[in-house]
Structures are given as structure tokens and as C-alpha cells.
Structure 1
Amino acid sequence: MGILKEKRTGIKSPKIIACLSQKGGGGKSTLARALAVELTKQKLNILLVDLDIQQKTSQEWSERRKQQNIKPTVNCQSFPYFPLELLKKNYDYLIIDAPARISQESLTIAKQANLIIRPVRPSLDDLNPAIREFNGLFKAGIPKSKLNFVINAVGSRAMEKATRDYLVPAEYYIFPIALEEKVSYQEAQNQGLSIGEVKYKRLQEQVKKLVKEILKKC
């Protein structure tokens, strides 16, 4: 789906990047927060949409950020489902932190999104369900051009290569930048920071490169 336009108001619908996963711990909230921070730094009007109202991890993260007076302030709201009225709001981007489960709501989100990102960890327990998840969305009519993997939590280049090699036959796009397994990422998020705001320059640059690649596809 391209960018829709409201003919009567002249307001264009926001671009939507959805971070999906059928289970928790894969990195979708981590990636959604990093995207939200980097886009906000670009002076864009964004909304981080937390759709897991039971956990509210992104909502609570944004509140920690406000409490620590960390700039820029990230606009985050939680909802029990994706409200279609957000498409009529004057946002540049909606970043969706989807619930950690597969449901009809996942398909609704996928249909509205410009880009769907599935962070995947380098283990068969994560890789195989991730591939099946995308296959299900593809069979439901979501084009492969929307479906993208980000390799997350790799411990070595050999591990990253093995993960890429395993994913390639599924024929979904794999972003060229992988995220490493780092304790500093978790520590940063505990403080209300994103993984792009860690104190290590190399890790900051890695996240910025990934965000740049994601926006090129959106």
C-alpha cells in the first residue's frame, strides 16, 4: 500500500512501519524504540504505537524517558488494537510495536503498513516460526516486498552469516545491518534510552545505519 491521501482534507496518511513477532524477546520493541528516537531526532512528527496493553513495555519505556528528562521526547500511546483513525492524523510516521502473538490483528496491521519488520534471533526456535509467520502473511495477500527480516542478537560474524544463509531460501528481504548481542543495549533501555543512544560510538553508528536502510525501503 502506498501513501494514501485524504482528498477532502489534503492530509496525507502517515507512513507505517510495523515491528511484528509471534512471541516476545525477539527485539521488536527494541527496534521500534530505536526507529522512534531516530525519526524524532530528524524533527519528524511520529507516534510510537504500543499495541501490547498487557505488557506496555514501550509505553513504560517512554515514561522512563520522560522521567529522566531525556531528549528528544518520544510520543508514545498504547491501544488494545490498531485504531484506523490514526491514518487521518497528521503524523509523518507511525511506528507500531505489535503484540507478541499472531492474530487477525496482525493481518490488519500488515495490510495498513508500508513496511513490516520481523527481528529474528539466530536460533532455529526463532528462525522457523519467523519464516512461517511471513509465509502466513504472504498467503493472506501481503506482498513479499513489505516483509523484511532484521537479524538480531548475533554473537559473531559466523553466526550472522549462518543466519543469513538459513533465511535466504525463504526469499524475504534481509537487511544488511545486523544487531549484535550486547548487555549495553538492555542497560540503555532500562534507563529510557534507545539502542542508538548507547555510550559506544560504534554501536550508535550501527543502529543509525540500520535505521537509514529501513527508511530507504519505506
Structure 2
Amino acid sequence: MAVIAVINRKGGSGKSTLATHLAAYCATNGMAVMLGDVDRQQSTRTWLRQREKRQPPQRSPIVGWAVDPKNVLRPPAGITRVILDTPGGMRGFDLARVVMFADAVLMPVCNSVFDRESAAECFAELMTLPRVASGRCKVAAVGMRLDARTKAAEVLAAWANQHKLPFVGVLRESQAYVRCVEQGLTLFDLPSAQVQADMVQWKPILEWLAPMLQAAQPAAAAPVRPQSTPTMRPVSSRTNGLAPAGRSTVRDERPSQSDHAQPGVAEPRQRRDAAHRVGGLFAWLPIPRFLQRKPAPDAFAGSAL
């Protein structure tokens, strides 16, 4: 399951616009996608309600999800892509927990000194996280609401190059985005003749995301090893769904000797990495456990909690 997180500490940077368009792109191409709203303002939930009224033809449904520690839902079977819209001001433990689930982070950045400075600080913190530093979670910036008559795109590209932040594209300032979002639509729902210029701008962004999105096809079930199923202690309702910050449930990610001893049973390393970073991590924000990817059988210690 591919997880794409849209992150920027500064409010009004275009996170919800970018997240809804990515979800609609997945739906347009027949991908089973869930749009997760980590932002307490629930902007994408409003957009989804408008979309239900419009019922775009020939589109796969977008499953919505909002953070609610008292309402743990189960996703429909077959969800393979998740787009996360995150709140402004995310940092520290909250930022690290989201990144531990993400395969890619897109950072929308507007062209002002305030936006660039905020984005630079956020990127610097992201680079301190092991998952980003090791390259397992890719990070890139997208220029948002740029006026084509100015040199805003060049300024942002130079800024990104200075900070060694991949800069994968720009989206122009256009009322088409505003009108679409208000109706629960995106540019991907409109006739291609009407949005030809905008689709040219989306192409490099989607090409950068393609390896993550295309690699999210459901994998064949691996043989089950004959051992007891690991257990987890349910999170107490008194903690409001929050897990203690200093306690990790993830064991060593190195393959065990038993994995090497049984050809055909051991999963590829990248699949094992994805399984290991799932367990117990969505209990923090609180994020419902239905977003947890299926862990490997030895992913948790029976008494880790």
C-alpha cells in the first residue's frame, strides 16, 4: 500500500488542493484510493461531501477517512493507495510518526519569503528522520499558485537547489482549482481539452510519484509460517488512543535466520521494511488502526506493549 503524505507547516500553502487532486488522479486511473484527513479542520471531508453530490462519471470512488479516536472504521478491501492531508504546524513526534508510514512526502510551497523559510525548516527536520535520511521515504517540493508572468518558478527552483530539495514541478495560480474544489471536483475530472495547459504542469509531478503508485499493486499472499500469532495489547480508552511516546513496538528489521533457512518464504527486503514500520504506529495521533499494513509474522514481540 503506497502512502503519499502532503506536508507543510505553513497554513494556506495548498496542501488540501494538492491532496484532493492526487486522490482524484488515482481514482481516475482506477486505483483503489483512500483520502486520509489528518488535519483537524477536515477540509478534505468537506470536499468529499461535495463530490458525492456531483458523482463524477466513470470514476472509482474515493474512500474518505477522518481522524476520530472514538470511531475506528475498517476500510473496504483492496485499498492500495492512501493520500494523507496533514495539518499546518506539524513537527517533532507528530511529524516523525507520519513519515514512518509514508513512502513519499510532497511539500507544497508558495513563493514568499515566509513560505520558503517555513518549508526550509520543515525539510531540515525531515532530513533528520531515519526513514527520510536513508531514502526509504522520498521528499520533493511543488511550487503552488505561481504566476506564469513572473519569475516565481525560477526563484523557487533556485531555493530548492540551494537546500538540496528535489523540485518536481509547479502549479499555476488559476481559478479553475478554486471552482473545482468548491464543487467536489478536480482538474482530472474535467474534459482534457479544458485543462490541457494544467495537465502539462502535472506531468513531472506524476512521473516522480509513478514508482510509488505503480508499486502498490496487491501482492500475492505468502505462505504462513507455523508459529503463534503475535498479539498486541489494546490501547486503553483512558489514553484517548495515544500510545506512550517512548515505547516502540517494532523489533529489529534485519531478516531472521529462519527467513534465510526457508527459501520461498522470506519476503523481499522492501516488503519486510514496509511491514515492520506498520505495527502500533498509528496509535499515536490518534490514527485508526485500519490504516495499518499487515505486519510480518515476527514484526511484534508478544509483550512489547
Task: Indicate if the aligned counterparts of 1:38 and 1:211 stay in contact, CA closer than 8 A.
Answer: no
CA offsets 1:157-189 (integer angstroms, 9 cap, x no match): 6210111111211112110x2100111211111
Map of 2:85 onto structure 1: 97
1:61-72 superposed matches below 5 A: 61-71=47-57, 72=59
Match of 1:188 among 180, 196, 201: 180
Q: CA deviation at 1:200?
A: 2.9
Which structure has the highest helix share of the two?
Answer: 1
Q: Distance in 2 between matches of 1:165 and 1:212?
A: 21
Q: Secondary structure at the match of 1:25?
A: coil
Whether 2:153 is the aligned partner of 1:160: answer yes
Map of 2:106 onto structure 1: 117
Map of 2:210 onto structure 1: 215
CA offsets 1:67-125 (integer angstroms, 9 cap, x no match): 122242322111148xxx989x7421111011222132221011111001100011111
Map of 2:171 onto structure 1: 179
TM-score, length-normalised on structure 2?
0.60
Q: Secondary structure at the match of 2:100?
A: helix
Q: Letter of the aligned partner of 2:153 in structure 1?
A: E
Task: Indicate if the aligned counterparts of 1:65 and 1:191 stay in contact, CA closer than 8 A.
Answer: yes
Structure whose CA Rg is larger: 2
Q: CA deviation at 1:204?
A: 3.5
Unpaired runs of at least 5, structure 1: 1-13
Q: Distance in 1 between matches of 2:113 and 2:200?
A: 29
Q: Secondary structure at the match of 1:24?
A: coil
Q: Letter of the aligned partner of 1:57 in structure 2?
A: S
Q: Distance in 1 between matches of 2:160 and 2:65?
A: 33
Q: Secondary structure at the match of 2:65?
A: strand
1:1-218 superposed matches below 5 A: 14-53=1-40, 55-71=41-57, 72=59, 73-80=61-68, 90-103=78-91, 104-144=93-133, 145=135, 146-156=138-148, 158-175=151-168, 177-198=169-190, 199-216=194-211
Aligned Cα RMSD in Å?
2.6
Q: Distance in 2 between matches of 1:166 and 1:139?
A: 20
Give the structure, 1 or 2, with the largest relative contact order (CA under 8 Å, sep 6 or more).
1
Shift in CA distance, 18/171, structure 1 to aligned 2, threshold 3 Å = same
Q: Distance in 2 between matches of 1:24 and 1:197?
A: 26
Q: Letter of the aligned partner of 2:201 in structure 1?
A: Q
Give aligned-pair identity as a percent.
Answer: 20
Q: CA deviation at 1:24?
A: 1.9
Q: Distance in 2 between matches of 1:86 and 1:111?
A: 21
Shift in CA distance, 28/86, structure 1 to aligned 2, threshold 3 Å = farther
TM-score, length-normalised on structure 1?
0.83
Question: How many residues are aligned here?
Answer: 202
Task: Indicate if the aligned counterparts of 1:50 and 1:98 stay in contact, CA closer than 8 A.
Answer: yes
Q: Secondary structure at the match of 1:149?
A: strand
Unpaired runs of at least 5, structure 2: 214-305
Shift in CA distance, 121/65, structure 1 to aligned 2, threshold 3 Å = same
Q: Once superposed, which parts of structure 1, at least 4 consecutive aligned residues long, lie more than 4 Å away?
A: none
